[in-house]
Structure formats: C-alpha cells, structure tokens
C-alpha cells in the first residue's frame, strides 16, 4: 500500500464523482436556459451560442 500517496483511493473516487455530477448539472442548466427566448438570455448575460457550446441536455439522465 502506498503510504506516501497525496490522496487516497476513496478521496480520488469521490472527487471524480463530484466533478462528473458538476458537469452533468452544468449541462442540465444550459439545456434549461436554451429553452428561453433570446431577449431573456441577453438580459441575464447569456448568449445562445455560448450555451450551445457548453452542451445542453434537456433531461436529467
């Protein structure tokens, strides 16, 4: 067993899980924002091209 490892197996696994869920949440939010009209997006500081580039998913899974 590597005692000198900076992070343990479970910490690395949990960090990877959290990163994956954050990416999934970002895609979900981008997809929901893409359902809004262009004027509303612009009023809140988003552009349709930027949201499409992030990737949008309209469903949770």
Beta carbons within 8 Å of 51's beta carbon, 6+ residues apart: 30, 33, 34, 41
Domain boundaries, the chain: 29-61
Mean pLDDT by 10 residues, the chain (61 residues): 69 96 93 93 93 70 47
Each residue of 30-40: pLDDT tens digit?
Answer: 999 999 999 99
pLDDT of residue 5: 60
Q: What is the mean pLDDT of the chain?
A: 85
pLDDT of residue 55: 78
Give the position of tokens 């930027």.
50
Distance CA 20, CA 45 (A): 25
């Amino acid at each position: 067993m590597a005692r000198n490892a900076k992070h343990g197996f479970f910490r690395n696994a949990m960090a990877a899980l959290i990163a994956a869920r954050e990416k999934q949440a970002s895609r979900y939010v981008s997809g929901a924002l893409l359902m809004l009209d262009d004027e509303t997006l612009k009023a809140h500081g988003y552009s349709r091209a930027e949201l499409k580039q992030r990737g949008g998913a309209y469903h949770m899974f």
